[in-house]
Structure 1
């Protein structure tokens, strides 16, 4: 597949091709493609005069970036101390049972992806997860399955 770079060009123009805006550029690219594609890294590198290796360095340093495609629904399970003590691993097991993926994986239809993170900053809601910037707390395995079922239903209704 040959990609057109019109969206990338729009993003680069928005930030006036400034090297110091790389993180904001990468955030928008990721929002557009649900990851940072290798060919887009090369395109940005050429456009900004930055070696692709430096862009990869930034993209791999910050946890919010992904070089692999993420699902339409990106699930983050907190495994920080409070959440772990309150049973965050049972949430991972529930997700595995409901949609069949483990941390670091994405469903074949690219609807869901799952990652474990060190802390979401929602310790009072332990155990917690975030799906596309929406925080869910005080969870059980059954609550997680219910949330995922509703998201699957919503998706089916939209089609």
Structure 2
């Protein structure tokens, strides 16, 4: 499970984020998001608006972003809802960062399929690089979180780093990804298994082989 704590609301935090407001671009996005919901249901926009706010904070800090209390208050005021309701959402879902985060947020899936495929070794590889769950490395590069299933069971074990998934990992493959990020490079996202394109069988297709290169109508063959 994720080790999470909400960053205390301090005068310094207020001084930095107390005047948070949408940028012109995000103000237009926020308006479009709220318009998706029926009249009287605008508060349902809280999740995408929290994501938008987190990304705006991240753009200022060159990180994935996080949600200081004043920023949550801004979203609450925008939707005319109690701040506690916004905090409940932000603290429940690990997609929202409720404390400052490093430039790269390393989220390791520890649910059963990933665990059976070696997620403990992936977590150990992170710790060997000085990462600790719920903390950021001293150089500000990496923050480590253990999360629940992120839907890549067929290519386990996997981690999500910011908005990208890295799958079919071994400790060595993860090290290569993290080294590339630390150098300012953009490593290939998705499966890290050589020769594997997405989540097809490692030995190649065993059925519907004619569909590999083009659409094929099998109906006459049934």
> Would you say same fold, with TM above 0.5?
yes
Distance 1:95 1:11 in 2: 34
Deviation at 1:149, TM superposition (A): 1.0
Alignment of 1:154 with 2:184, yes or no, is yes
Deviation at 1:104, TM superposition (A): 1.8
**Cα deviation code 1:26-81 (max 9, x no counterpart):** 01011122111111112332343211111101112223112112222111111111
Higher helix share: 1
Distance change >3 Å, CA 137–CA 44, structure 1 → 2: closer
Q: What is the aligned partner in structure 1 of residue 68 from structure 2? A: 37
Distance 1:77 1:105 in 2: 14
**Bigger shift: residues 60-69 or 29-38:** 60-69
Consecutive unaligned residues of structure 2, counting only runs of 5 or more, are: 1-14, 35-41, 58-64, 186-222
Alignment of 1:5 with 2:35, yes or no, is no
Alignment of 1:54 with 2:85, yes or no, is yes
Deviation at 1:21, TM superposition (A): 1.9
Deviation at 1:14, TM superposition (A): 3.6
Distance 1:46 1:7 in 2: 12
Distance change >3 Å, CA 154–CA 107, structure 1 → 2: same
Q: What is the aligned partner in structure 1 of residue 96 from structure 2? A: 65
Distance 1:15 1:121 in 2: 28
Mapped contact 1:92–1:102 kept (Cα < 8 A): no
Mapped contact 2:20–2:70 kept (Cα < 8 A): no
Mapped contact 2:50–2:75 kept (Cα < 8 A): no
CA RMSD of aligned residues (A): 2.2
Runs of 4+ with >4 A deviation:
none
Whose Rg is larger? 2
Q: TM-score, normalised by structure 1?
A: 0.83
Distance 1:47 1:125 in 2: 40
Distance 1:145 1:32 in 2: 29
Distance 2:90 2:24 in 1: 19
Alignment of 1:110 with 2:110, yes or no, is no
